Structure 1
């Protein structure tokens, strides 16, 4: 039997003579508050990372291959499709899927408003899973049919701004330097809402042949390829590997190509997400410090209240190290009680937000329209285990007061 654990457990057992003191209650509340705040902070930060990365992947995939002059540009030199280029992309480790696309900047004009947009053309094998998830009205545009259609998919924010609905006809203007503006009419097939205002306000999806015709491109000319890797974390490595492959390839059609990962293409957004890691670290450290001082105060009170017991156990031959372990176990029990309450409160609030979307955000400032929450076993277990380990390790300092208790003084005093 572990004697220190046995004595600590008996000390913690509630009884009429052994009631929790005020400091112990404060310590439990402090630990519970710290745990709840840390869980909420981590869940929101992980939710931001997951949701923003998910939405950016839906708009721009993991990796893009474009002409070197077309990186982050709406109107660029076309990339010529070739079986050799596509085979090089497929042969790169981490490849999962790819789709050609073409983009062109334009202006949407109605009788009531004008808006600048990016017309994005895709083929029939395009992965519609993201836009299908975001679809709020109508249907996805028909693309890849034998007969080219003028269907478009636009965002709800853009539709509201331009007073458009499903089935409405809309005119677009395409301005080329030194040339007369080109006009074309499209039909609104569906409306989507991703919640990311920065992208929603720009992206309009249609058949790739519409964009090729407006750009005076042939059927084998595109803006580039969107590539999906097995995981977003593999995107940067995939882009570097494919970029080196294309750089040293001698075949015609692979020169002047740039390979860009979504984290590099939208570096400002992903750098903003990384900054949240610092915020999480600061919150965790502050909560640990507050919990430690309250736990240390409570532990010192427990030691002072048990000076007679300490003196008696020392007189019976128990060493100071074993006595310190008694109070460390006692502090561990208090920490576990606080963690239980903190987890109940923190996880409960996370689930309420996840199910009800109660707290909203300004999508212009935060990219998302509501506070995202992501719960995962990995970081949750690590957070709780780290909290317990840190508190118990830090409490080694105040338990040193046990060594200063002298049996002859405490027993004589009684």
Structure 2
């Protein structure tokens, strides 16, 4: 049997003579509080990144292929649909799905309000998975049918501002430089709410052919292709590979075409998300420092309370290293108790927020209308293991105080 572990376990066993002191309780509370705060911070940060990235993917795909002369603009140079280009996209490693799209900036006018919008046209190959989850009223627009429809999918934000409901007719104006405004009327087929206010306040979806007609494009012309991948993390690498393939392809169909990831097209949003990683690291470091100082204080108290025992064990021949391990095991037991309480509190609050959406956010400032949480076994286990390892490793230094205890002084008096 490990003698250090055995003695530490006997010291930790509750009894009338061995009651936990104030410093030990403070250490347990400190560890619990630190772990709970770290779990909440990481769950919220990862939740933000996951939710915002997923919503941006729903609106813009992982990668877009457009004309290089119109990247990031609404009225971009059109891309001519080509079987050769589509084959290049499909054969690029990481590809999952793609759909052509067309964009046009316009104005929605009702008797109550006027709003600027982005009319996005899609066809039958468009992945409606995200908008199907966000649909709150009505149905998705019919697109790609043999007969072109005037269905339009509006956000709850736009519908409230314009006082529109499912089945209402709405007029849209499209102004081109040097040309007379073009008008068209659409029927509201459904209303969605993604929670991403910046996009909800602008994007309206309809049939691809409606946008092509308004732009006076032939059926072969689109704004570009939206591409979905297996994982957002590979979007930049996929865009680089596809851009190289398009650049060095000798066909006229690929001239001026470039692939850009969603992170490149919306850098302000993803830079904001990356800034949260720094916040998470700062929180983890602060909680570790606070827990360490409280644990170090508790360990010093434990050592001072057990100086006579340390002197006796030294007199019996126990080396300093084994004595240090006794108090490191004792510190590990305190840390594990705090860890249990901290996990119960942190995970419990995360599950409560996930189930009730109790804590709300200002969508204009935080992009989302409620605090998202993301719980995963991987980072949760790593956080717990890393916290225990870091605390015990840092306590090696204060545990060295046992080597200063002299047996002849500690056991001289009863």
- 1:63-118 per-position Cα deviation (integer Å, ceiling 9, x unaligned): 00001122111111110001100000001000000000001000000011000000
CA distance in 2, matches of 1:297, 1:413: 26
State the partner residue of 2:129: 129
State the partner residue of 1:38: 38
User: Is structure 2 residue 255 aligned with structure 1 residue 255?
Assistant: yes
CA distance in 1, matches of 2:351, 2:274: 24
- 1:49-71 per-position Cα deviation (integer Å, ceiling 9, x unaligned): 00000000000000000011221
CA distance in 1, matches of 2:348, 2:263: 33
CA distance in 2, matches of 1:304, 1:119: 73
User: Is structure 2 residue 81 aligned with structure 1 residue 81?
Assistant: yes
CA distance in 1, matches of 2:203, 2:89: 26
State the partner residue of 1:266: 266
Pairwise CA distance, 1:125: 1.6
Root-mean-square deviation (CA, aligned residues, Å) is 0.5
- 1:152-193 per-position Cα deviation (integer Å, ceiling 9, x unaligned): 001000000000000000000000111110000000000000
- 1:241-269 per-position Cα deviation (integer Å, ceiling 9, x unaligned): 00000000110110111210001111110
Unaligned runs of 5+ in 2: none
SS at match of 1:253: helix
State the partner residue of 1:6: 6
SS at match of 2:411: helix
CA distance in 1, matches of 2:70, 2:258: 8
- 1:328-373 per-position Cα deviation (integer Å, ceiling 9, x unaligned): 0000000000000000001111000000000000110000000000
User: Is structure 2 residue 401 aligned with structure 1 residue 396?
Assistant: no
Alignment of 1:241-390 (within 5 A): 241-390=241-390
State the partner residue of 1:145: 145
CA contact (8 A) 2:140 2:153 kept: yes
CA distance in 2, matches of 1:48, 1:141: 29
- 1:2-34 per-position Cα deviation (integer Å, ceiling 9, x unaligned): 000000000000001100000000000000000
CA distance in 1, matches of 2:350, 2:191: 30
Pairwise CA distance, 1:203: 0.4
Pairwise CA distance, 1:413: 2.9
CA distance in 2, matches of 1:100, 1:196: 23
Runs (4+) of structure 1 exceeding 3 A deviation are none
SS at match of 1:127: coil
Deviates more, 1:404-413 or 1:148-157: 404-413
CA distance in 2, matches of 1:76, 1:406: 82
State the partner residue of 2:22: 22
State the partner residue of 1:230: 230
SS at match of 1:65: strand
CA distance in 2, matches of 1:96, 1:413: 79
CA contact (8 A) 2:98 2:125 kept: no
